[in-house]
A and B are shown apart, each in its own frame.
Chain A
Amino acid sequence: MATEEFVSMAKTAISARLAERTLPVALVGLEEQYKKVLGLMRRTIETGESNSCLILGPRGTGKTMLVRRALQDLEKQFSIPNNDDYDEGDMEVDDERKDFMVIHLNGLVQTDDRMALKEIMRQLSREGESELGESNTSFSDSLPSLLTFLKAGTKAQYPIIFILDEFDLFAQHTKQSLLYNLFDVAQSAEWPIAVIGVTCRMDALELLEKRVKSRFSHRHYYTFPPSDYHDYIDICKNALLLMPADMEIQPDDDEVMLVGPSNRAAQLFINEFNERVKILFEDGGFSKVVQRIFDLMKDVRAFYRLCFGPVAELSKDSPYLQASQFYESGLQQRVDNKTELLKGTSLLELSLLIAIKHLVERETITFNFEMVYDEYKEFMDMAVVRGTSTSSSSGSLGVGSGGSFASSDGVSLRLYKKAVALKAELLRPADSSSKGPKEYRMMRVMLDASQISDVVLKHRDCPTIVARWAARRA
Chain B
Amino acid sequence: MATSPQQQQLHGAFPGRVKQIDQILGFMGKPLAPTPPSLLINGNSSLGKTAVIKATLSAMLGQSEPERRRPSRYAFLDCVECHTPRLIFEHAIYQLRNPPPTQEKGPTLSSIGAGKKEAAEGTLTGFRKRKRVTHSPLEWNKCDNVNEFIEWCRKICDTQDDETDNTSSSGNQSSQSPGHHHYQRPSTSSKHQNETRYLVLDRAERLRDTAPTLIPVLMRLQELTGRNICVILITTIVWEKFRSKTGGYEPIVLNFPQYTKAETVAILRKDLPEDEDLDMFMRFVDLVYDVFQRNCKDLNEIRHLVALLFPLYIKPVKEGKIQKHEGLKLHRHIQAYFVEAMDKLYLREISSTEWSDRTLSAASGSLISSGHISGAPGSDRTLITALDVQNTFDLPYYTKFLLIASFLASYNPPRLDMRYFAKVSNQGGKMTKRSKIAAAKKHGHDNMGSKLRQQLLGPKPFPIERMLAIFYSILDEEVEENVNVHTQIASLVSLRMLQRVTPMDKLDSIKCKCNVSYETIKSLAKSTKFEIDKYLYDFS
Interface residues of A (CB under 8 A from B): 8, 11-12, 15-16, 18-21, 59, 64, 83-84, 86, 88, 91-92, 94, 106, 108-111, 115, 118-119, 122, 125, 134, 168-169, 200-201, 251-252, 301-302, 305, 308-309, 312-313, 315, 317, 332-333, 335, 337-338, 340-341, 343-348, 359, 362, 364, 367-368, 370-371, 374-375, 400-405, 407-408, 410-411, 414-415, 422-425, 435-437, 439-440, 460-461, 474
Contact = CB atoms under 8 A, between A and B. Distances in A.
Given A110-B147, A436-B459, A59 B222 contact: no
A348 B298 CA distance: 13
B224 interface: yes
A337 B186 contact: no
Contacts of B383: none
Given A84-B226, A423-B236, A403 B33 contact: no
B246 A168 contact: yes
4 tightest Cβ-Cβ pairs between the two chains A and B = A440-B458, A344-B258, A312-B26, A403-B291
Nearest to B190: A83
Interface of B: 1-2, 23, 26-27, 29-30, 32-37, 42-45, 47, 145-147, 150, 179-180, 183, 185-186, 190-193, 213, 216-217, 220, 222-224, 226, 228, 236-241, 246-250, 252-253, 255, 257-258, 260, 287, 290-297, 331, 334-336, 338-339, 342-343, 346-347, 387, 448-449, 451-452, 455-459, 499, 513, 515, 517
Contact of B147 (A64, A119, A422): A119
A169 B244 CA distance: 13
Nearest to A373: B456
A103 B187 CA distance: 24
A16 B227 CA distance: 11
A341 B457 CA distance: 30
Given A106-B224, A301-B250, A411-B295, 8 more contacts: A91-B186, A252-B33, A252-B192, A337-B255, A367-B451, A400-B294, A407-B342, A414-B347
B342 A411 contact: yes
Nearest to B150: A109
A400 to B, nearest CB: 5
Contacts of B26: 309, 312-313
Contacts of B287: 401
B295 A312 contact: no
Given A21-B222, A309-B23, A332-B255, A437 B515 contact: yes
A108 B257 contact: no
14 contacts: A8-B33, A12-B33, A21-B228, A64-B223, A94-B185, A109-B147, A134-B180, A200-B246, A340-B42, A347-B293, A370-B457, A403-B291, A437-B515, A440-B457
A50 to B, nearest CB: 26
Contacts of A375: 451
A368 B238 contact: no
A344 B297 contact: yes
A301 B36 CA distance: 12
A106 B193 CA distance: 24
Given A411-B295, A440-B459, A200 B247 contact: yes
B239 A439 contact: no
A302 B250 CA distance: 8
A143 B515 CA distance: 61
Given A21-B34, A401-B335, A344 B213 contact: no
A435 B459 CA distance: 11
Contacts of B246: 168, 200-201
Contact of A59 (B241, B248, B499): B248
Given A109-B147, A111-B146, A422 B459 contact: no
Contacts of B192: 251-252
Given A15-B35, A343-B258, A108 B224 contact: yes
A108 B219 CA distance: 11
Nearest to A13: B34
A11 B33 contact: yes
Contacts of B2: 315
Contact of B253 (A333, A400, A422): A333
B237 A424 contact: yes
A403 B213 contact: no
Contacts of A115: 145, 147
Given A368-B457, A370-B455, A408 B343 contact: yes
Given A110-B147, A309-B26, A436-B513, A15 B342 contact: no
Given A108-B146, A301-B250, A439 B257 contact: no
B213 A111 contact: yes
B457 A403 contact: no
A437 B338 contact: no
A439 B342 contact: no
Contacts of B247: 59, 200
